[in-house]
Amino acid sequence: MNRFGISGAHKSGKTTLAKHVASKWRMKYVDMRLSEVLRAFGASPNEIIPFADRLNIQQNMVKHCINLLDEADTNYITDRTFIDVAAYTLSYMPHAVSDIESETVKLIINQCYQAQYAFFDKLIVVGNGFEPPKAPDAHEKAAYSWAWNFQLQAIIKGLVLNGNMKCPVSFIGDQISGLAARNDKIDTIIAEAQRDAALERLIH
């Protein structure tokens, strides 16, 4: 078991944790670079765009992530996963959508579930433990909103608790808010996952 991914709401510390894991456990850090897909379509995270256009972008994000992970091969940690793509897709969905849009959402969600299982041995969901300081490139990222983040966190939890989720999941709860405590928790998760995988190999 050596393909790990971190999911969580915006500014929940995913990249910081992923870089820590990559350094300590000698894994390849894969920056999923989802903002590149937005820029390719002339959009920005803070821009309000028609939902049909948003769905087109989300479909291309799935393809983008698959291409990145195909190149990564194995032994990696990512700072976002297909579950994040699915969650953002749902978070942007208005109350009233067309039948075609509804079917497209269903297609994206199913693709995300399938790709999550295909490319990851373990998903680690990070809670909203803290709001990090404003980054220099903050204008290129979605603006922080407690309400929207809470919604994203609820959507992510709903996605991973759904019966279609086949990839194993561990959680780092909101109560673990300090960086050192989060690092310790994710180290424990990685160690236990690798130990269990080693035992499984011995058994079989």
Q: What pTM, to 2 d.p., does this model score?
A: 0.90
Q: Please determine, for residue 137, whether its predicted confidence score (pLDDT) is greater than 60.
A: no
Q: What is the mean pLDDT of the chain?
A: 90
* Bridge partners, residue 133, by sequence: none
Q: Phi and psi (nearest 5°) for 168? A: -60, 145
Q: Collect all residues with Cβ–Cβ distance below 8 Å to 4 and sequence separation of at least 6.
A: 21, 27, 76, 77, 78, 120, 121, 122, 123, 124, 190, 193
pLDDT recorded at residue 163: 96
Residue 32 pLDDT > 90? yes
Rounded to an integer, what distance in angstroms lies between the CA atom of residue 131 and that of residue 13?
A: 8
| Domain encompassing residue 195 | 3-203
Supply the pLDDT for residue 177.
84
Q: If pLDDT is split at 50, 70 and 90, which confidence band does 1 have?
A: low
Q: How many domains does the chain have?
A: 1
Write the pLDDT tens digit of every residue in 62-109: 999 999 999 988 899 999 999 999 999 999 999 999 999 999 999 999
Looking up residue 67, the CATH number of its domain turns out to be 3.40.50.300
* Least confident window among 46-60, 110-124, 133-147: 133-147
Span 41-54, pLDDT tens digits: 888 877 889 999 99
Q: Which amino acid is at 135?
A: A
